[in-house]
Amino acid sequence: MPDITMPQLGETVTEGTITRWFKKVGEKVSEDEPLFEVSTDKVDSEVPSSASGVVAEILVQEGETVDVGARLAVIEAGDGKAAAARAGAGAGAAPEAGDQAGAAPAEAPAEPPPAEEQARPVPEDAEVRPPSAEAEAATAEQHAAPEAPEPAPEPPQPRAGTAGRLLSPVVRRLINENDLDPDQITGTGQDGRITRADVLAYLDRNGGRARAGQRQPATPAAAQAAPAAAQAEPAAAKPAPKPAAKAGAASETIPFSNIRRRTAEHMVRSKATSAHVLVAAEVDYAGVERVRAAAKGEFKAKEGFSLTYLPFISRAVIDALADFPHVNSSVGDDALIVHSRVNLAFAVDLNFEGLIVPVVHDADGMRLRALARSVADLARKARSRELTADDISGGTFTITNPGPFGTFLTFPVINQPQVAILSTDGIRKKPVAIELPDGTDAVAVHPVGMLGLAFDHRAFDGAYASAFLGRVKEILETRDWAAEL
């Protein structure tokens, strides 16, 4: 009987929460038919069944969070009669004898002390001495009432209105962190259930107000009352909470969101894993710009989005990877795993609140226009929180694009388990020396920008990385890009 396990829903995702089962025990399911819904800090996704048959067991219930790879359910081949019988037997079965036997037995009475340790009569001629002061103090201490333990801090209470509602843990966390009223949010999920996209859309419509870490400033009266309240606090109060930001303070404490925490963990792990090295090259985009300027009007009218430099750079990277395949690889157990497919990943900013890295699968089979469509579609889905688990899995090489912010040179962090990442920095016009057809030199104004390649020195050396980047530069500067469009 095949097991259904928690899938890997992205390189940085380590766990998922079951939010809904579409099948019950005893019901038939076909391969690739949606079996359950899972929620992570990045995506909410319907997961299809990996086998056909009948659901024999469900091991993880709705609302439970488990690690990637954990067993979730068991699919039984055949007509499912055995699974249905087990489900019926489980529903009407009487308690097992072992259930009653497992009850904790009553405490046995304490055994009397040995006879020689029991009290003996005192001889009549024995001298009776009054107890010493030390003995009296020890006796008083033994009979004193035990100290009352310090009260434990009260657990955090959920936001009023979320208790008892069918909400995924991710949605419940977003509502609590942002101090929202779920009754004000319109649910678009199954049976009107509130999804993560509904909460984020509500925050966007309301200008991002009441987000986690944004506190209202204290009023003057409250600021004056605070010292008096602190002085009135009894000495044996509850443990002091962590310091919070106060009006007039120079700093503010903003708790990490889940995506911020996951990103931080992934970046620190990457720096600890890979031997990061940076190589950079300046690229003259004059040839790209001539084609882009001539085609951008028609392109936008037909495709519905602007033609930027990114598809040209992506196309050059794909062709350069064919010449330098070790850049498209991962480090394994004392070995380099070279990937035959190019799955190009792109870092997408989420309104300065985090980033996500969707993947264009089999990008090496796409021409420039098809590649531009795929990149634009993934960016749209990322910002509208519509990415699926497949959209963020399987990347083999990543491109990050800080160029629109006018950056000069960026040293990016490698997206594990890959071995390289390319940064495309700002492109600006500047004077460059060019060679004229007659062999003389001249100065012209061209669009120029930097490309920065961070690579893992475990996988290959600087000469190989530099040669790869030089090939990307050569393709961008010399290719007939009009033929690509």
Distance of alpha carbon 220 from the chain centroid: 40
Name the residues annotated as catalytic.
457, 461
Beta-bridged to residue 38, according to DSSP, are 18, 45
CA distance 29 to 50: 10
* Lookup: tokens for 205: 């419509």
Distance of CA 170 to CAs 21, 95, 162, 244, Å?
A: 17, 36, 12, 25
Q: Are 336 and 459 in contact (CB under 8 A)?
A: yes
Put the strands of the sheet holding 359-360 in their side by side order.
276-284, 441-456, 420-435, 397-400, 344-346, 359-360
**Token pair of 297, please?**
């009007």
What DSSP designation does 364 have?
A: G
Tokens for 263?
A: 């990103």
Handedness of CA 72, 78, 82, 83 (dihedral sign): positive
Range list of H helices, 182-275? 196-205, 220-232, 258-273
Q: Is 145 exposed, middle or buried (0-12, 13-18, 19+ CB in 10 A)?
A: exposed
Q: Write the DSSP symbol of residue 146.
A: P
Question: In this structure, what is the dihedral angle of CA atoms 268, 41, 182, 243, given to the nearest 10 degrees?
Answer: -20
Find the radius of gyration of the CA atoms of the chain.
Answer: 33
Count of residues for the chain? Answer: 485
